[in-house]
Structure 1
Amino acid sequence: MQLTLLVPELIWPEPADTLALGQLAAPGFEWLDAHGAMLRSPRQAFEQALADVFGQTNSPYGALRVLGEPTGIDSNAARDGVWLCADPVHLRFHHERIVLADAGAFEISEEEAATLVADLNREFADVGSFYTATARRWYLKLSPAVNPEFCPKSASAIAPLSAIAGRRIDGDLDGKPTAITRWLNEVQMFLHLHPVNEARQMKGQPAINSLWLWGPGALPAPADPGYAAVWSRNPLAAGFARAAGIPNRPQPKTLADLLAHASDDAQLVVLDELLGPVLYEAAEDWRSKFETLERDWLQPLRAALGGPLTQVTLIAPTIYGKLQWTISRGERWKFWKKGQPVTMLARQLAEAA
């Protein structure tokens, strides 16, 4: 079996942070780093790295994520029309800069989401229809009557949510106003005055004062990326799989679980547990989840390369760039290769940036 693991934010973005990296035991990762050939390419968001492993460019993330939604929305609706992710966010000024917080950084109830979306649909019915899959994941399906110039022609022209959550977005808002940014200003004014936000502010909660509109487009033609199955709980990964006609299986808890249920053909596993802690600067949570990943996936890979696995490719989009290690079965015999602690690798990557 050839196994590809996609693990966003595998390396903590602050090399000197001892809370995350101090005395972090990672023999499995260190062995992979020592024995695998590492390639470093320019930085990519998780969503873009996911598109890469499916051989896609300019991916319509909105339609694809709808297609992969397990509940809350008719996923087959993604096969018709132009969709965008329209995720609820909070914009605030911090040191004279605009910072975006996505709904992973604050609480939003299903009732609040349903009320806001229903009222957005009444107010902006001429533009399209809003949908919620969960309180945190919203969508906009554009009306066929909307001018094609309303959205950027390239889905990659708008940063995916994981690339801007918790960060300054001044640069993303600069430039010549477009039809969609002018309309978004109207949406923001509508949300600012909405009773849901008035109630949230009375309770000291951040207002849902904007939407992040990204990933516009219609579903692409099917393409075969060469995997027999995709294993993930991420709706965007599930959507890529469905669009390619590949089964999307529930994410296994461990490598042993995967090997017990997967065929001998090429497999893709998406392990995105480390992404949230990095986006929300939760060092202790990242460390705990890394230790689980190390125990359940990385350490067992060494033995599995002597058994059912013929090759492992580990892909990690990080702040240091997109890192990729490839290790084949024969590499495990090179006993003289020694790994280095994760914190040392992080420092080297930061210095070489």
Structure 2
Amino acid sequence: MLCLLPVQLNMQRDSFSLQGIVPLSKAHYQQLTVQISEHFAKDFILHTDPDNRFWWVQPLQTLEVECPWPQSVLFQQAFAWQPTGRGARVLRQWVNECQMLMHQIAHHADASWPATLNSLWFSNVAQLPSWQHRFDLISGQGRLLEGLTASGLSAVRALKIAELASGQRYKHALFVADSMRDVDWESLSVAFSKGIFTQLKIMLPFAECSVHITLKRGLRWCFWRKPRPMDSLLQALHESLLSQPKSAQGVR
């Protein structure tokens, strides 16, 4: 079984790279479902997703092929993520046909067609390993929590950050969210400044890496300080640089 996703490729003269997954409206998803199914009727069976995000592909022949998930190769040139294995040639042919199909559909589509959609991406669906964790509670909101809930983990409970701060104390708790905007940062800040949370580890994912922030109990005293305006901080930084020996400043 393979997963098929709508994507944008950055096409250049001699190479191309993956820019990201393209969200689809229900109408566009249904249109693509019909046309992909018709075009590849002799190659695979297409199964739909209720949320219009991707398709499941069931090949009509046995394919021994490895192809990465798009999140693992964002903004990288094509040579970094070409399919491998005995079935790689077949999959590359399907990808080429998908790009031509996308070009034909976009040429005849109306103005609402997503301009960034120009290809489809095949990915392996591997067996998920069992997750060994040490959390007393796993909570959050969004699709990430839905997936963890579906996994059957006993520690999963749908609680908000404010509820975590006012209810039962947990030694190790994990809160997940699909976007930084979904996090109640104000409640988190208040709970940490009051010592309700003695330590925080924040992980903010980006395209090819992530930022890790660790806040321990002693740092909560910083919340008592009056925040300084940005121009004051820049002035302090400028004065600090000027006070450094020239050997420490480096070459400008």
Answer yes or no: same fold by TM over 0.5.
Answer: yes
- The aligned residue for residue 315 of structure 1 is 203
Q: Alpha carbons of 1:141 and 1:204: their partners in 2 closer, same or farther (altered >3 Å)?
A: closer
Partner amino acid, structure 1, of 2:27: E
- 1:188 deviates by 3.8
TM-score, scaled relative to structure 2: 0.64
Partners in 1 of 2:167 and 2:8 — Cα distance?
42
* 1:130 counterpart (47, 50, 61): 47
For the pair 1:183 / 2:84, whether they are aligned, the reply is no
SS of residue in 1 equivalent to 2:94: helix
For the pair 1:214 / 2:123, whether they are aligned, the reply is yes
Structural mapping, 1:219-238, within 5 Å: 219-220=128-129, 222-227=130-135, 228-235=137-144, 238=146
Partners in 1 of 2:99 and 2:134 — Cα distance?
44
- The aligned residue for residue 53 of structure 1 is none
Q: Alpha carbons of 1:208 and 1:178: their partners in 2 closer, same or farther (altered >3 Å)?
A: farther
Unaligned runs of 5+ in 1: 1-81, 275-288, 345-353
Partner amino acid, structure 1, of 2:139: V
Q: Is the 8 A contact 2:95 2:121 kept in 1?
A: no
Q: Is the 8 A contact 1:114 1:132 kept in 2?
A: no
- The aligned residue for residue 68 of structure 2 is 158
Q: Alpha carbons of 1:203 and 1:259: their partners in 2 closer, same or farther (altered >3 Å)?
A: closer
SS of residue in 1 equivalent to 2:142: coil
Q: Is the 8 A contact 2:42 2:60 kept in 1?
A: no
Partners in 1 of 2:116 and 2:216 — Cα distance?
50
Q: Alpha carbons of 1:196 and 1:233: their partners in 2 closer, same or farther (altered >3 Å)?
A: same
* RMSD between aligned residues: 4.4
Partners in 2 of 1:111 and 1:319 — Cα distance?
29
Partner amino acid, structure 2, of 1:88: P
Structural mapping, 1:116-127, within 5 Å: 116-122=32-38, 123-124=40-41, 126-127=43-44
* 1:271 counterpart (177, 180, 183): 177
For the pair 1:326 / 2:197, whether they are aligned, the reply is no
Structure 1, residues 128-164: CA drift from partner, whole Å, max 9, x if none?
Answer: 43322433x20324358523x13x2xxxx62533751
4+ residue runs of structure 1 moved beyond 6 angstroms?
Answer: 201-204, 339-344
Q: Is the 8 A contact 2:7 2:119 kept in 1?
A: yes
TM-score, scaled relative to structure 1: 0.49
Q: Which has the higher contact order (CA 8 A, sep 6+)?
A: 1
Partner amino acid, structure 1, of 2:70: P
- The aligned residue for residue 299 of structure 1 is 189
* 1:242 counterpart (136, 150, 166): 150
- The aligned residue for residue 93 of structure 1 is 11
- 1:303 deviates by 2.2
Q: Is the 8 A contact 2:140 2:175 kept in 1?
A: yes
SS of residue in 2 equivalent to 1:217: coil
Larger radius of gyration: 2
SS of residue in 2 equivalent to 1:230: strand
Q: Is the 8 A contact 1:311 1:327 kept in 2?
A: yes
Partners in 2 of 1:192 and 1:251 — Cα distance?
47
- 1:89 deviates by 1.3
- 1:296 deviates by 2.4
Q: Is the 8 A contact 1:230 1:268 kept in 2?
A: yes
Q: Is the 8 A contact 1:93 1:99 kept in 2?
A: yes
For the pair 1:172 / 2:172, whether they are aligned, the reply is no
Q: Is the 8 A contact 2:4 2:57 kept in 1?
A: no
What fraction of aligned residue pairs are identical, expressed as a percent?
17
Partners in 1 of 2:50 and 2:97 — Cα distance?
24
